[in-house]
Structure 1
Amino acid sequence: MAAGVLQPESIRVPGTPALALLQAGQGELVLFLHGVGGNKFNWAREVRVFSRYFHAVAWDMRGYGESDDYEGPLRFEDLSADILRILAYFGVQQVHLVGLSMGGRIAFDFLHRHPERVRTLTVCSASHRAAEMSPERRAAFLASRLRPLREEGKTPADIAADVARSLVGPHASVEAYEALVESMCMLRAESYMKALEAVSTYEGGIPLESIRVPTNVVAASDDRLIPADVMRPMAQRIPGSVYQEITDCGHLSNLERPYAFERAVLGFLLKHAEAKQGVPVHGGRETAR
């Protein structure tokens, strides 16, 4: 039987750098990985909801939120090592990975390096490599984010409103937009810039046809950063993958359409959990297509 909804708690995984997590529940580990402008609190609702069925955990990526800073550039191999530390901390061999935007690319990278440690893969509004975006569009994206910080002396808080407007869809609620702005305001400029550069140059390029774990690809119909037209053919190349598209939604589907997001992701996870359990029915009219 499913447990009741639990109140998440914050913990820290020791090491260099120490990692801050938000966790609730028991059972198989589900790890939520935020995007380049996010933090663990973007997933607070999902940690509560998913904790009825799983040990739900969201991280602050190194240099983000309450996790420690680090020296040097951001490297994807270090992020994969951080995930291994989390698995070791909880004493588990496998993890259900749920990554949105940059978090999805981190999940792809971890699967490429440690396929035996991944039970299922869910990627939301994320491509597997930077080359899925043209060099011109990538350069324009980087310039729009980095120039105000490096050349104009602005802080992440100064650009938060404009960045948030470029990411949310036309149907986003005021609450979703404000949550994204708040998240952007919490960023540390140096870590944010290192993450932007890392994600924009990452070409780890896991062969999609080689993926053998159950994979859930979740796109959003109004996503201008990683359009559904990029996500759909990617899903078609992954053997046996599930493709779902959330309607009337921009880049941050967990914030903009939480009920639809939960149906798309929780339903998939429950199908592949060792202990089969019924899928909860949420209220509201939102649906995943």
Structure 2
Amino acid sequence: MDTCQSFSIGPAPRIRVDSVGSGELLVLLHGIGGNRRNWRVNLPALAAGLHVVAWDARGYGDSDDYDGALDFRDFARDLVRVLDHFGAGRAHILGLSMGSWIAMDFAANWPERVGTLTLCATHTGFAQFSDAAKAEFVRSRKAPLLGGAEPADIALPVARSLVSPSASAEALDQLVDSMARLHKGSFIKAIEAVVHTDYRDSLPRIAVPTHVICGTDDPLTTADMAREVADLVPGAELTIIPGAGHLVNIEKPQEFDAAAVGFLRRHAGAATDA
């Protein structure tokens, strides 16, 4: 694999990225408790024949925090900036959990800039849940932090709630490290914003090759939820990886890489400018 370069893309809030490889652009979008480090185990396989960029979303990792509330579409607007920085008219987009909803939002509003979509550990958005369920999602994640806890204090129990029963100690440690690196204020903003997502109406309009990947043991975004997404997107492929929890790329990296790379290789050229 080529040497991985890390740098920030401006203007503010500056977006930190890891960039490796050459060819068509593939952008990797992490989840609500993640950062660009979540993809490092996958980069060698994904960067074989592609230019892979993994970002820290605004308010995450080494990217800038920002003033005011978060409009969830800000993430997609930042993705436009990333593509523009690399001179890419279109790109392959691969997102996990919150990253998948950013990808859906980007595809709904900038469809001409999407070559392929890979949606991992996903569902159609939080509008499908009751108001009570959404409120509990927000409360359970905000309450400890508002009560004085820091992300590092909640990292282990949250990580344990996301992995499969068979997850390795190494996979759990990666999740704990990821959660411990969260920016407290920006994480709370993301929690509050993500519950307003709803892509049930836009998914049937996706007109690019789409791949949905999930784990059998994901307690948060279940296999049935993934099937619903795949059923709504015309021609979408579905891969269910046995024994994987929510962070399927970390728990089962070889199986994830094989599925993701296989799909991307079959559709190479989809992101090439006309």
The normalised TM-score by structure 2 is 0.95
Say whether 1:176 aligns with 2:171.
yes
AA paired with 2:129? M
CA contact (8 A) 2:19 2:53 kept: yes
Q: SS of the counterpart of 1:273? A: coil
Offset at residue 200 of structure 1 (A): 1.6
CA contact (8 A) 2:45 2:261 kept: no
Q: Which residue of the partner structure matches residue 144 of structure 1?
A: 140
CA deviations 1:137-190 (Å, max 9, x no partner) are 32222211110011x210111000010010011111000000000011001100
Identify the match of residue 108 of structure 1 among 95, 101, 104. 104
CA RMSD of aligned residues (A): 1.3
Rounded to whole Å, the distance in 2 between the matches of 1:40 and 1:206 is: 29
Q: Which residue of the partner structure matches residue 116 of structure 2?
A: 120
CA deviations 1:98-157 (Å, max 9, x no partner) are 00000000000000000000000010011232123333332222211110011x210111
Say whether 1:227 aligns with 2:219.
no
Tell which has more relative contact order, 1 or 2 (C-alpha 8 A, sep 6+).
Answer: 2
Percent of residue pairs bearing the same amino acid type: 44
Rounded to whole Å, the distance in 1 between the matches of 2:170 and 2:128 is: 31
Query: Which aligned pairs between 1:3-22 and structure 2 lie closer than 5 A?
Result: 5-22=1-18
The normalised TM-score by structure 1 is 0.90
AA paired with 1:270? R
Offset at residue 81 of structure 1 (A): 1.2
Identify the match of residue 186 of structure 1 among 181, 194, 197. 181
AA paired with 2:166? H
Q: SS of the counterpart of 1:201? A: coil
Distance 1:41 1:206, change over 3 A: farther
CA deviations 1:190-231 (Å, max 9, x no partner) are 011001111122235542221111000111100110111111
CA contact (8 A) 1:23 1:47 kept: no
Identify the match of residue 201 of structure 1 among 196, 199, 208. 196
CA contact (8 A) 1:99 1:122 kept: yes
CA contact (8 A) 1:104 1:128 kept: no
Distance 1:238 1:205, change over 3 A: closer
Unaligned regions of 5+ residues in structure 2, if any?
none
